[in-house]
Structure 1
């Protein structure tokens, strides 16, 4: 299974690596403007996760349906689902555009952002979410392509998006300036828009990326929606929604927990907000092996279920779980060793560096444990089992992280370190719950009965 796993995982890993690199550069380039600018950008980042995760959850329904269709050899059925994905992108994209535009002024207030930077954070949020339709296309169409085993196309579009974002950042954030290169002065033009320039660069890049992924999907030989009906088809949407709705509620509830978590951290002040934002940015790079493997796990598990191949599904599980743990041990070790150096890339503030390094080294120890639930959840998504992960994730988020952080910050008067301690407790609970569920075998529907695609087996 290892060559197959890596062939699907490495493009997703590279794509996420590029996204993280851009996030690093975004944070670093804005960080030059000062701690207030970093805090303004990071203060609403968890709302970004909330919206992005909800849309990603919807796409999981299509991933399960399409990967199982391909495994069963039903390519026309998969193409019908692609047509329904187009309809979903239009509806969801328009809905979130209206929602984010309407709430742009209120979000920083709800997030308890320092009053001195609320206006800046609001303007950043408004510009960033203007192209919501294109962002939705990027997420859902990318997942549709991955469901048929094409992880390279989303990677290529993602790399192009990130390069555009970096270049535009360079010209939109800073004012026109003169630099000395090889003894000669060179005038570099710039808009000087600061934080708003970073948002505008991302918005333009999202728009180009959304158009590009749509064109790629339209021309794809295996999953093109060309010629398919774009009217609602209950035969396709019902099984997709059966998988997507629990996953959507899970991601919405956990992302809402991230919002509540960040809101409590924002109440600790500008230094804590900046340290938290930078530490989150740094940490995201070290989750890349985990989420790359999750994509491969979901696609291959769906294929195996569609083909009624229980041996293949169990072989996948036995190969990918220990592989995931090994990769996360390496990433966690690197994060622990280089934490202070990485924080210094984004801030020269001594307090921010000290605080950010401390919380990063704390979470580095839990990385291998967190990798296990990531990949097990991926396999469960592929086989359409999304209710149990919903229960586990919501219980961990609200029962451990949010409740614990509220007690530590508001009742005990503790700071950022205690909040990240609660986050680690949340990750450890997920490790225990998903590991027990994995060894019970209940995650695999073929362990109980022989399952044929499309839910029922008829006998004459």
Structure 2
């Protein structure tokens, strides 16, 4: 892994128009990817830990979290979409060596983000008692499920600050601090979950409280690093009056809008998928939720490499170096596919062992392992879609990538899952997922190599 000083020097070469050897490019990609991969994996480990601890309380406790998983994903994705709308602008300004405007965008991001997260929190509080029933859950799991969702909703402002500060640091090329703090948050989650679930005997609610407290403790140093310690983004580097600029908001809306719409429709698709799974029974609900958690550990390296791609492609695009931008895009997508192909092999071999960590119920273990082995074959193409999507978004090209995601999800996964679920149960749902992810990956590879994402309209910053 590159030291911060070396990676900063190589990123400065990008901004200053200096040539880069192929070895330097690869070193920079790997140096930025490794911390981000660790950060992505440890963030998913929080959900893995929650699921494992709750899983040993029984199938009903597991199903109470599984039934609302798609909705919590939606709320987190909406906050992530907002962060992306501002962090892409920051990466472009940093690539253009305009650090002052990068900090101005950061200020706008914090204000808008806090307002939006408080609104989301209010919505979550308002619907928490009804949500499990809307999603097809029964009265046996509704109480625990609504309690978990209420606590998660109260955590949303802290989740936003975490996402926002992390994405801004990554846009500046600092992957190390978000990685360290993600690992810290994971460790804290283990400690707090154990205390609340087993010492205070709070069960499912204890898992949510542990995660909330882990976010609260970790987000404070994350915000401090981004706003006070960063050499590029520290807000105290500016000594002029802060002026509101609606162009930054419009630009963020232009970038975030399609991503947020995607999050909404994709989550709607996940809700429908949950409704397809729910009639199959609590065993299938729990197995589906646990298998998703295990699979997420395998595809998080793709998101980590996608973070590196966003930084490198965003800064080279902002610097006007399109040849280098294209080169970084191809290298990161290739690396992502190779890594996730390896992770797919690991997932196929150790699927039973992974599932046994999450649940002591043999039926859940067996069904989840079968689903994971179906999905393992789609992992390289899933990587292509993840990293290529990050490449496109980092240039401001969001509409067509979002369209690809939505069309494959709604046109292939859901229709195929609905048809296959009645005959093959949960395995049919996962087979549909594998078909859809493979198709999505192929479409993103076609878009990547055609290069039209490089022609994304310039973002106006007047």
TM-score by length of 1: 0.91
* 1:368-401 Cα distance to aligned partner (Å, 9 max, x none): 1111111111111111100011110110111111
Partner of 1:117: 141
Are 1:212 and 2:182 counterparts? Answer: no
* 1:7-39 Cα distance to aligned partner (Å, 9 max, x none): 211111111222233332221211121111111
Q: What is the CA distance between 1:413 and its match in structure 2?
A: 5.0
Partner of 1:372: 384
* 1:214-241 Cα distance to aligned partner (Å, 9 max, x none): 2222212311234577764212222222
Q: What is the CA distance between 1:83 and its match in structure 2?
A: 0.4
Greater mean alpha carbon deviation, residues 39-48 or residues 64-73: 39-48
Are 1:415 and 2:425 counterparts? Answer: yes
Partner of 1:145: 169
Partner of 1:66: 90
Partner of 1:77: 101
Instruction: Give the Cα–Cα distance (whole angstroms) in 1 for the partners of residues 458 and 359 of structure 2.
Output: 55
Are 1:331 and 2:349 counterparts? Answer: no
Partner of 1:289: 301
| Contact 1:63–1:299 (8 Å) recurs in 2 | no
| Contact 1:308–1:452 (8 Å) recurs in 2 | no
Q: What is the CA distance between 1:131 and its match in structure 2?
A: 2.2
Gaps of 5+ in 1: 175-189
Partner of 1:196: 205
Report the CA distance shift for 1:453/1:386 in structure 2 as closer, same or farther (over 3 A).
Answer: closer
Partner of 2:231: 221
Instruction: Give the Cα–Cα distance (whole angstroms) in 2 for the partners of residues 455 and 14 of structure 1.
Output: 34
Are 1:302 and 2:314 counterparts? Answer: yes
| Contact 2:377–2:434 (8 Å) recurs in 1 | no
Q: CA RMSD in A?
A: 1.8
SS, match of residue 316 in structure 2: helix
Report the CA distance shift for 1:241/1:230 in structure 2 as closer, same or farther (over 3 A).
Answer: farther
Partner of 2:20: none
| Contact 1:373–1:434 (8 Å) recurs in 2 | yes
| Contact 2:41–2:301 (8 Å) recurs in 1 | no
Are 1:352 and 2:364 counterparts? Answer: yes
Greater mean alpha carbon deviation, residues 371-380 or residues 430-439: 430-439
Instruction: Give the Cα–Cα distance (whole angstroms) in 1 for the partners of residues 458 and 121 of structure 2.
Output: 39
Counterpart among 7, 14, 28 of residue 38 in structure 2: 14
Instruction: Give the Cα–Cα distance (whole angstroms) in 2 for the partners of residues 191 and 88 of structure 1.
Output: 37
Counterpart among 48, 51, 54 of residue 30 in structure 1: 54
Are 1:39 and 2:63 counterparts? Answer: yes
Instruction: Give the Cα–Cα distance (whole angstroms) in 2 for the partners of residues 455 and 223 of structure 1.
Output: 18
| Contact 2:39–2:304 (8 Å) recurs in 1 | no
| Contact 1:250–1:390 (8 Å) recurs in 2 | yes
Report the CA distance shift for 1:366/1:199 in structure 2 as closer, same or farther (over 3 A).
Answer: same
| Contact 2:83–2:113 (8 Å) recurs in 1 | no
Matches for 1:191-270 after TM superposition, within 5 Å: 191-219=200-228, 220-226=230-236, 232-270=244-282
Partner of 2:117: 93
Partner of 1:343: 355
Q: What is the CA distance between 1:454 and its match in structure 2?
A: 4.4
SS, match of residue 286 in structure 1: helix
* 1:119-177 Cα distance to aligned partner (Å, 9 max, x none): 11111111222122111111122111111111122222222222211101111101xxx
Larger fraction in helix: 2
| Contact 1:46–1:258 (8 Å) recurs in 2 | yes
Partner of 2:187: 163
Report the CA distance shift for 1:453/1:405 in structure 2 as closer, same or farther (over 3 A).
Answer: closer
* 1:338-383 Cα distance to aligned partner (Å, 9 max, x none): 1111111122322212211111000001101111111111111111
| Contact 1:54–1:251 (8 Å) recurs in 2 | yes
Report the CA distance shift for 1:75/1:361 in structure 2 as closer, same or farther (over 3 A).
Answer: same
SS, match of residue 348 in structure 1: coil
SS, match of residue 444 in structure 1: helix
Aligned residues between the structures: 435
| Contact 1:173–1:198 (8 Å) recurs in 2 | yes
| Contact 2:92–2:317 (8 Å) recurs in 1 | yes
Counterpart among 435, 439, 442 of residue 429 in structure 1: 439
Partner of 1:184: none
Instruction: Give the Cα–Cα distance (whole angstroms) in 1 for the partners of residues 37 and 339 of structure 2.
Output: 12
| Contact 1:274–1:352 (8 Å) recurs in 2 | yes
Instruction: Give the Cα–Cα distance (whole angstroms) in 2 for the partners of residues 212 and 249 of structure 1.
Output: 31
Are 1:173 and 2:183 counterparts? Answer: no
